[in-house]
Structure 1
């Protein structure tokens, strides 16, 4: 496949800053970009990089309609590749047979996607593949909760098997009363050892078990210490090798994000895996031609430029100044980071997404009220998948 070939690329979740940045990279390389979303107003819709926008059904609530609508767009507009961004990936993987063979779905078979998405299945898969990981156990009942509280000898995290950064993670201690937990048979809890150490996140573009692009960034400014607001690529050969092994073990195709702890005695362990787009895509520039990685065209691993720091400017303004966003945070540190980092939304060459941000956020706030969730939850609520059959 020639690297100069122009493709028609369809990217989902148009409201996302990830989609906006990927659309810009694709368009800069000469590809035609279409974006879709269930919201009428999303920042990517107004980008110069985007040739067409389509409003579609919400994948969480109308999954079959969503997939059929995307398949119709693909057929009608001769789309070459569909790149899902968020958890609609799982839904598309389940209904991949709806799409014409001529279109490349940038994802893995559903069984692989689900194993990596489900936090319990992922940890068990690491054990099955002989990869060292954190101590964990399933909590599906009040009896399991009592057993976990008795068996752990150190602090541990409690979160649902299908969950994401916008949702609650409880920190528990041996002997704690866990009667506050409620139970969903399709979405159990995982109790997982709470290990301190240097924290890193990754983003990789993979195809057929090979890694074609990769970024590693330490957890710096973040909402509640988990959802990163600033991003700076660092060299960490150990993380690159670890990630490559996982991608090879699962013959994975798609985006891949991993959350790591680098412990001085135990080395690298992953907290969880996100087989979908993550914020690392926002560190690449046009010059790296990361578009090639999505088609498996490059031979050398594509990485972001060293020393470049990017940020979600709106997120930093809302959350970055708070004490919870950075260890020993001060206004001086916060303003220094704001001056150093490039905003992933604002662009002199592509100003409309930034101009439309207030209107886009108004729509997200409306959905947050509708679904009775916070701003971060409202952002992604109708694109989540929690293991329920469709």
Structure 2
């Protein structure tokens, strides 16, 4: 397996599973150069499939014509990727498909505040944003003078919903799920960026995902964020991430999740899921953030200590220890990126792989 990254010390490069590593330009800041470098690596190494990991998925989808036709890009067309990624357009898609959702509105800037007719608190976030970025809880009538106007990346307002939070991760081919995992939001930075991953069986959520994946004929990796609300456990999807999410870390090599990326012609093939009772964590993230009250989601510090001892780290694996040993070097590189881009540690992990709606053409 060949891997690429824009940072010099990517922990994946030291794994026994990786044969070659190539450093490439940062896709966020040099998208065209990134795709050209990636296409060149594909051609020189006879790569059969490119599997994007983060929001470079959108960039590759936009510039798919740069890649040789013999290589399969594991993603959907840009129009599908973008509509699922854009938080306001995704909610519109749910309405079009007749899928229940909570009240939402598009907000370009402070001038739109007066037209909002929410009579309950609502969440406000960028249409192109991710878990490491802040979600604002706004009260009806707040002036919102602090909002920045950005037509390329506006805001979405969504009725604030309380309840049990779940996230999913799925691998799909042409509208069918081949691998799937559901995990509750237990420990998360500011309640949104998960630090631990505990596999649970939730048939309603899996059925919901299977339905929308089929209806949009999606191919690639995809994750959804859900809230179960009220006495009847009404299920609402808050947003979609049409890319790999941290949920993939619940799978182990023994689960055979690699087969999901190759697909199969057997319509009755069983969906690959993590082993029952899987409980993993980002160890360093839990030590830095998990113990803090906003991350514990109502749990006591004593409960955090028990959960920390009971979970296994996603980096450490018997027989493949180099990534864990060299983790301090990788984090040093991430800290360097934080200083360079003037962002916090949580944002710095994938900052140079983010995409905020900028259209790119050849």
CA–CA distance in structure 1, aligned partners of residues 254 and 37 of structure 2: 34
Query: What's the counterpart of residue 330 of structure 1?
Result: 300
CA–CA distance in structure 2, aligned partners of residues 327 and 77 of structure 1: 46
CA–CA distance in structure 2, aligned partners of residues 187 and 193 of structure 1: 20
- Is residue 2:244 matched to residue 1:273? no
- Is residue 2:146 matched to residue 1:180? yes
Comparing 138-147 with 198-207, greater Cα deviation is found at 138-147
Asked whether the equivalents of residues 2 and 20 of structure 2 are also in contact (C-alpha less than 8 Å), the reply is: yes
Query: What's the counterpart of residue 283 of structure 1?
Result: 250
Asked whether the equivalents of residues 208 and 252 of structure 1 are also in contact (C-alpha less than 8 Å), the reply is: yes
CA–CA distance in structure 2, aligned partners of residues 328 and 383 of structure 1: 32
Deviations 1:305-345 (A, max 9, x none): 11120111111111111111113333321221111111101
CA–CA distance in structure 2, aligned partners of residues 115 and 249 of structure 1: 14
- Is residue 2:107 matched to residue 1:139? yes
Deviations 1:165-207 (A, max 9, x none): 1112110011112111011110111111111111100000001
CA–CA distance in structure 2, aligned partners of residues 313 and 130 of structure 1: 40
Of 203, 222, 232, the residue aligned with 1:256 is: 222
- Is residue 2:162 matched to residue 1:192? no
Q: Do the aligned partners of residues 331 and 263 (structure 1) sit closer, same or farther apart at CA in structure 2, a change above 3 Å counting? A: closer
The TM-score normalised by the length of structure 2 is 0.96
Asked whether the equivalents of residues 163 and 228 of structure 2 are also in contact (C-alpha less than 8 Å), the reply is: yes
**CA apart distance, 1:234:** 0.8
Aligned-partner SS, 1:335: helix
Query: What's the counterpart of residue 261 of structure 2?
Result: 294
Query: What's the counterpart of residue 173 of structure 2?
Result: 207
**CA apart distance, 1:348:** 2.8
Aligned-partner SS, 2:93: helix
Aligned-partner SS, 1:273: strand
Comparing 210-219 with 265-274, greater Cα deviation is found at 265-274
Query: What's the counterpart of residue 14 of structure 1?
Result: none
Query: What's the counterpart of residue 97 of structure 2?
Result: 129
CA–CA distance in structure 2, aligned partners of residues 328 and 91 of structure 1: 38
**CA apart distance, 1:291:** 0.8
Query: What's the counterpart of residue 352 of structure 2?
Result: 382
CA–CA distance in structure 2, aligned partners of residues 266 and 286 of structure 1: 34
Aligned-partner SS, 1:91: helix
Query: What's the counterpart of residue 85 of structure 2?
Result: 117
**CA apart distance, 1:266:** 6.3
The TM-score normalised by the length of structure 1 is 0.89
- Is residue 2:12 matched to residue 1:62? no
CA–CA distance in structure 2, aligned partners of residues 218 and 329 of structure 1: 14
- Is residue 2:70 matched to residue 1:102? yes
- Is residue 2:40 matched to residue 1:72? yes
- Gapped regions of structure 1 (runs ≥ 5): 1-32
Deviations 1:231-282 (A, max 9, x none): 1111111001100111011100011100001123461110000001111111
Query: What's the counterpart of residue 10 of structure 1?
Result: none
Of 36, 42, 55, the residue aligned with 2:10 is: 42
Of 227, 242, 246, the residue aligned with 2:208 is: 242
Runs of 4+ in structure 1 deviating by more than 4 angstroms, as ranges, are none
**CA apart distance, 1:84:** 0.1
CA–CA distance in structure 1, aligned partners of residues 347 and 301 of structure 2: 27
